[in-house]
Every structure is written in C-alpha cells, then in structure tokens.
Amino acid sequence: MAKLYFYYAAMNAGKSTTLLQADFNYRERGMHTMLWTSAIDERAGRGRIASRIGLSAEAHMFAEGTAIIPVVMRELKDKLIDCLLVDEAQFLSQRQVLELAEIADGLDIPVLCYGLRTDFQGRLFPGSAALLALADKLIEMKAICECGAKATMNLRVMADGRAVKEGAQTEIGGNDRYVALCRKHFFERLRESEAEQLNLAIPR
C-alpha cells in the first residue's frame, strides 16, 4: 500500500533540494512523477520548484481552493503516476491533505510532502498540522542553528536583523526575512527585540 509522507524542517534544511533529487531518482528509472507547489510562493517563478543550489523543475500549483484529485485523475488518463511530490506543504488546507491521503490509499500512489512545521511564532501551519495528524511517515530533516545545534524554529526578521513578533502567518521570503534557529536562541532573539523596542518607546 502506498503511503503519505511528511518531510518537515525549519528553513534552509534542503527540503526542495531533497524533493528534486527524489523526482530525479524516479525519472532516471523511467517512472513518472507529478510535482506540486504553492501558488503563493513565486520566488522561482510561477509553478516552479527551485532549490538554493540551483536545481529547479516545473510543477502544478495549488491555491486554497484547488481540488487536487481531479487534476491527478486527468493526468492518469494519459500516463501512470508513480509518485506525487508536494513542496511548500505547510500551505495545504486540511481538505487538500485529506485528498492526498485518499490518493495514497485509493489510487495507491505514494505522496511525498515537504514543508515547514511551524511559522515565525512557533505555531503549526494548517497544512502541517493536518500532515502531522494523517501522514503514515513523519521525517524530520535537519537545519542548523547559528550555535551549531539543530534548528527547529523560523525567526522572521526585519531588514536590520531585529526579530518580528507579530504579523500575518504567511509572508514569503528567504534568508532576507527568515533565520532558522534552535528553540533557545529563537526565544532569546524575541526577548532582545522586545527590549530594544521598549527602550525606543521610552522618552529621553
């Protein structure tokens, strides 16, 4: 029976690179894959998955209201699909994660999802929460904090490097907007930012 996998990590753990390597491995053996990515993230261009080391590939896009199963069924009319690979899986809705589980269970197609677990406030994304609940296999990928420990948190920063504590859950960005940190240094940076803002607010 095919399985639903969730590969999760903080920023800069190589999730897209690993996805593209898995895609290459399938295609090298003459197998067919179907790639998906979020329509929200257009940093590499619309409908493209790209890694920091220069690999890229075209992909189907999902938005909040996208129904995935009908697109998969249309593709199956022309060719077999040996694997679905989903990037930016944190942006999936709960309904879409249920669709992916149905694809694995009903169509016997393995589904490999790659994404962040938590946002810049340490809260689960809806797609990640659904995948943590429903996936057959949970695989944590390793990102490294500036101290050398495992990074598990995503700190949003301003242009001057100060931590951002509040804002919309989704704000697309790379190393210019986010820093992967261990839990200890994540909360240290938030406290430092709060202290700096308090000092600025005190009249001199």
Name the strand (E) or helix (H) holding 190: helix 183-201
Mean pLDDT of 158-185: 77
CA distances from residue 143 to 45, 135, 167 in whole angstroms, order as listed: 25, 21, 24
The winner for highest mean pLDDT among 52-61, 74-83, 192-201 is 74-83
Cα 194 to chain centroid distance, Å, stands at 28
Q: Is residue 7's pLDDT more than 70?
A: yes
Confidence of residue 30 (pLDDT cuts 50, 70, 90): very high
- Distance between CA atoms of 116 and 189, rounded to whole angstroms? 20
Average pLDDT score over residue span 171-190: 82
Is 171 in the active site?
Answer: no
Confidence of residue 184 (pLDDT cuts 50, 70, 90): very high
Domain boundaries along the sequence of the chain: 4-201
What pLDDT sits at residue 195? Answer: 65
> Measuring CA to CA, which residue among 123, 41, 156 is closest to residue 89?
41
Mean pLDDT value across the chain: 88
So what's the pLDDT on residue 44? 62
Candidates 3.40.50.1370, 3.40.47.10, 3.10.180.10, 3.40.50.300; CATH matching 4-201: 3.40.50.300
- Rounded mean pLDDT, 17-21: 95
Query: Per the structure block, which two tokens stand in for 65?
Result: 């209201």
> Average pLDDT of 188-194?
82
- pLDDT tens digits, 102-119: 999 999 999 999 999 998
Q: What is the dihedral of CA 131, 184, 51, 20, to 10 degrees?
A: -40
Q: Which of 28, 42, 64, 88 is labelled catalytic? A: 88
Higher-pLDDT residue of 168, 188: 188
Residue type, 147: C
